[in-house]
Amino acid sequence: DFLAAHAGGLIRGLSPGFRVDLGGERIERRGNSVLRTISPAALFELSAVTRPAYSSAQIEARAWETHQDRQPYRGAVHHLNRWRL
């Protein structure tokens, strides 16, 4: 279901869920822009979404074998090679 939604353009990016540690945030004004720097933070969630929180955050499927690709079956693909965020 996820791969079909991704291929159909329903999933366009990701939104991280994190908590900023005390004193781990710095905010600077740069002209008309605001730069927020976070270090360190506790990452607790990554959500695949239609409208990502950060436009530069991308998600793509990789190293995924479909039923037709298994000639012959080579076993499960290592789970850490399936996704790149």
Q: Which secondary structure element, helix H or strand E, spans residue 2, and what is its range?
A: helix 2-7
Structure tokens at 82: 């399936």
Per-residue pLDDT tens listing for the chain (85 residues): 888 888 888 888 889 899 998 889 999 999 999 998 998 889 999 898 888 888 887 777 776 555 555 555 455 555 555 555 5
Structure confidence at residue 83 (pLDDT): 53
| Residue boundaries of the structural domains of the chain | 2-84
Report the distance separating Cα 57 and Cα 50, nearest Å: 12
Single-letter residue type at 12: R
Structure confidence at residue 6 (pLDDT): 83
Q: What is the largest CA-CA distance in the chain?
A: 59
pTM, rounded to two decimals? 0.53
